[in-house]
Structure 1
Amino acid sequence: MDIAPEELQFLTVSDILKESTSIPKLSPRTFYLITLTLIFPLSFAILAHSLFTHPLLSQIQDPYGSHSSEWTKLLVFQFFYLIFLFAFSLLSTAAVVFTVASLYTSKPVSFSNTLSAIPGVFKRLFITYLWVSLTMVVYNVIFLCFLVLLIVAIDTQNPVLFVFSVIVVFVLFLVVHVYITALWHLASVVSVLEPIYGFAAMKKSYELLKGKIGLAFFMVFGYLVVCAAINGVFGSVVVHGWEYGVFTRVVVGGFLVGVLVIVNLVGLLVQSVFYYVCKSYHHEGIDKTALHDHLGGYLGEYVPLKSNIQMENLDV
């Protein structure tokens, strides 16, 4: 990034998008291979998932006959789908964040180096993801409780309880869910670029988000809306749109997969750039030499003598 570190804090959403989309030009071959081998399979699986589950669900909803075999197939498919989604999501994050940081520190970038770094990065991201998952479990339990309360309010025709439940459910779904998602994405970057992960990375992410929550909310909400729109069109045209014909469905499906690939790649680049924006806002300089050595540790090039790499409150 050519922008001075102290100026990064002033970037707007459009500036961050512009900066993010310019990064692949610095190493097009590396990002092309990352996109082809990691982000494309992830995006394809997200959209193609409904193609395989829809026939099974249709058979299960058939009131006649036994559906034990269909339920077994659905559960097995869902299990492997979630494993695949989880693995490629973390792999894509690890690859993009590591590559962007390498470019930021002027470290030589190549696809082979990125692949070599992934095992070390993956472990840290996995532990952070477990803490985020625990947070999401707590959130879902609370959300479910208020959803049940909303149903009770409808059944009992209690207007006060109904309004209260609707407001809480709306806030939990729209605000809290988006905030946890932003916290997770930023904690993922922290886990790669700083010597902390897990709960410590989430705590650091929480601190970095202060003062930039509005910007983070806007970007995460926009990303989720775009993904939901893509999935909606894919479901209505490709999965359920028998009237459109096979050729049209294949063309639309291929186009939407390509769009989702671009959206996911840009999303990963944005979360990397946003990390530097937050660091700049809190006047936490990043020692590029220390970061360079930290990244080299994933490649076996450098073994830190201390567990705490100082990357804060330093002039670049």
Structure 2
Amino acid sequence: MDRSEEDMKSVGFFGIFKQSFKTIFSWKKIFAQITLTLILPLTIVFLAEMEISHHVFLNIETNSFLQFEPNDYDGNRTSAMDWLYYLLFKIAFIILLTVFSLLSTAAVVFTIASIYTDRETLFRNAMKVVQKVWKRLLVTFVFIYIALFIYDVIGSVVIAIFRSFLRNKSTLSLILLLIFLIVYIIVFLYLSVVCQLASVITVLENTQGFKAMKKGKQLANGKKKVGMGIAFVLYAFLVGLLVVYELFVEYGRGVFELAMVWRVMIGILCGLLLLMLFLLFIVTQTVLYLVCKSHHREVIDKLSLSTVLGGHMGETVVNPTVGGEEIQLGRPQLQQQV
């Protein structure tokens, strides 16, 4: 983090990626520790869910999809116990995914903030901060899940309506469906940027839940295209990795007739790339936060930020202001009179 606050304001799409990679490679040791300790279990949980879903619950997921078309349903119904096991499996997956995502986010955001303020960056310090902020970060994650769930429900309802119209295969219906999918992706990318900024805000500022998401929305203004472009690239890479994993690892025996050794090697490679991608997700969203703060002229005072980080570490006491808020990391600068 060798850029000043004024320099950060002008950082764009490529600059955020460049700064993110530079930060990771300049501080390889601590990011490697965080990756192996927190992000590796996250990756294992993610891939394990795909494996178990494919080998154990594929019949349930296939039938639940086919039920949108009653005439195509093959009659291979699953029992109530199968649905119960499937539900418990999904709940366990969401809990594990949330836990490791929460811990990884807190550790990486704190580490980058420490680098930005020239504080000592130690792995044990990052883990101490995780213990301090995980509760309020969990609150923000719950609001993020609620927002994404509502958005998915709305999207599913609209798609179901389109499916009913598409039975006659009209050209107009296909065009409308394509337009809806494009709009759906664009809104999803914007929502993901707001959620990512809200996560960083929760760690570094005295804000959580809906207020953090509201502030994330405000910070995203002016840098929406940059943030959405970054999200698009990362999600596109994620989807590409998952497609490769599904085709060459999950279905490698039946589709491409790959030997087991090749399937294992491709699976390991996909896992390593997924591991690095998850780290890059969190690093870029933190750098984007710094860029958005500078863009809105909310200059992050390094002394104030260092005080906040010290408060997380138990080194200093962050005295609340009259309004009950902790030291703010940035106040909008007054425009100079001409």
- TM-score strictly above 0.5: yes
1:229-273 deviations in Å (ceiling 9; x for gaps): 101111111111112122111111111111111111122111111
Aligned partner of 2:289 in structure 1 is 275
- Per-residue deviation at 1:148? 2.3
Aligned partner of 1:95 in structure 2 is 107
Aligned partner of 2:236 in structure 1 is 225
1:92-126 deviations in Å (ceiling 9; x for gaps): 11110011001111111111111111022211211
Q: Which one-letter code corresponds to 1:106 in the other structure?
A: D
1:278-297, aligned counterparts within 5 Å? Answer: 278-297=292-311
SS of equivalent residue, structure 1 residue 313: strand
Q: Normalization by structure 2: what TM-score?
A: 0.86
- CA pair 186-117 structure 1, distance change in 2 beyond 3 A: same
1:298 to 298, 302, 312: 312
Q: Which one-letter code corresponds to 1:270 in the other structure?
A: T
Aligned-pair identity (%): 32
Q: How far apart, in 2, do the equivalents of 1:86 and 1:258 lie? A: 20
Please say if 1:129 is aligned against 2:147: no
Q: Which one-letter code corresponds to 1:178 in the other structure?
A: L
- Per-residue deviation at 1:166? 4.4
Q: Normalization by structure 1: what TM-score?
A: 0.91
- CA pair 80-238 structure 1, distance change in 2 beyond 3 A: same
Q: How far apart, in 1, do the equivalents of 2:76 and 2:14 lie? A: 55
- Per-residue deviation at 1:13? 2.0
Q: How far apart, in 1, do the equivalents of 2:233 and 2:129 lie? A: 31
Q: How far apart, in 1, do the equivalents of 2:332 and 2:59 lie? A: 62
Aligned partner of 1:240 in structure 2 is 251
Q: Which one-letter code corresponds to 1:90 in the other structure?
A: L
Alpha-carbon RMSD: 2.3
Q: How far apart, in 1, do the equivalents of 2:55 and 2:278 lie? A: 27
Aligned partner of 2:194 in structure 1 is 183
Q: How far apart, in 2, do the equivalents of 1:246 and 1:36 lie? A: 26
Please say if 1:308 is aligned against 2:319: no
Q: Which one-letter code corresponds to 1:7 in the other structure?
A: D
- CA pair 131-76 structure 1, distance change in 2 beyond 3 A: closer
CA contact (8 A) 1:5 1:280 kept: yes
Aligned partner of 1:12 in structure 2 is 12
- CA pair 239-163 structure 1, distance change in 2 beyond 3 A: closer
- CA pair 159-246 structure 1, distance change in 2 beyond 3 A: closer
Aligned partner of 1:78 in structure 2 is 90
Aligned partner of 1:55 in structure 2 is 55
- Per-residue deviation at 1:26? 4.1
1:110-125, aligned counterparts within 5 Å? Answer: 110-125=122-137
- CA pair 184-66 structure 1, distance change in 2 beyond 3 A: closer
CA contact (8 A) 2:219 2:292 kept: yes
- Per-residue deviation at 1:63? 6.7
Aligned partner of 1:3 in structure 2 is 3
- Per-residue deviation at 1:170? 3.1
Aligned partner of 1:45 in structure 2 is 45
Aligned partner of 2:22 in structure 1 is 22
Please say if 1:34 is aligned against 2:34: yes
Comparing 146-155 with 240-249, greater Cα deviation is found at: 146-155
CA contact (8 A) 2:241 2:274 kept: yes
1:257-312 deviations in Å (ceiling 9; x for gaps): 11111111122111111111111111111111111111122222222221231322
Comparing 163-172 with 217-226, greater Cα deviation is found at: 163-172
Q: How far apart, in 2, do the equivalents of 1:251 and 1:162 lie? A: 40
SS of equivalent residue, structure 2 residue 292: helix
Higher helix share: 1
CA contact (8 A) 2:16 2:288 kept: yes
User: How many positions carry a matched residue from both structures?
Assistant: 314
Comparing 18-27 with 229-238, greater Cα deviation is found at: 18-27
- Per-residue deviation at 1:140? 2.0
- CA pair 147-314 structure 1, distance change in 2 beyond 3 A: closer
Q: How far apart, in 2, do the equivalents of 1:65 and 1:206 lie? A: 44
Gaps of 5+ in 2: 64-73, 334-338
CA contact (8 A) 1:91 1:122 kept: yes
Q: Which one-letter code corresponds to 2:319 in the other structure?
A: L
1:125-164, aligned counterparts within 5 Å? Answer: 125-155=137-167, 163-164=175-176
- Per-residue deviation at 1:194? 1.3
- CA pair 274-237 structure 1, distance change in 2 beyond 3 A: same
- CA pair 158-247 structure 1, distance change in 2 beyond 3 A: closer
SS of equivalent residue, structure 2 residue 119: coil
1:186-265, aligned counterparts within 5 Å? Answer: 186-242=197-253, 243-265=257-279
Q: How far apart, in 2, do the equivalents of 1:68 and 1:203 lie? A: 41
Q: Which one-letter code corresponds to 1:102 in the other structure?
A: S
CA contact (8 A) 2:308 2:318 kept: yes
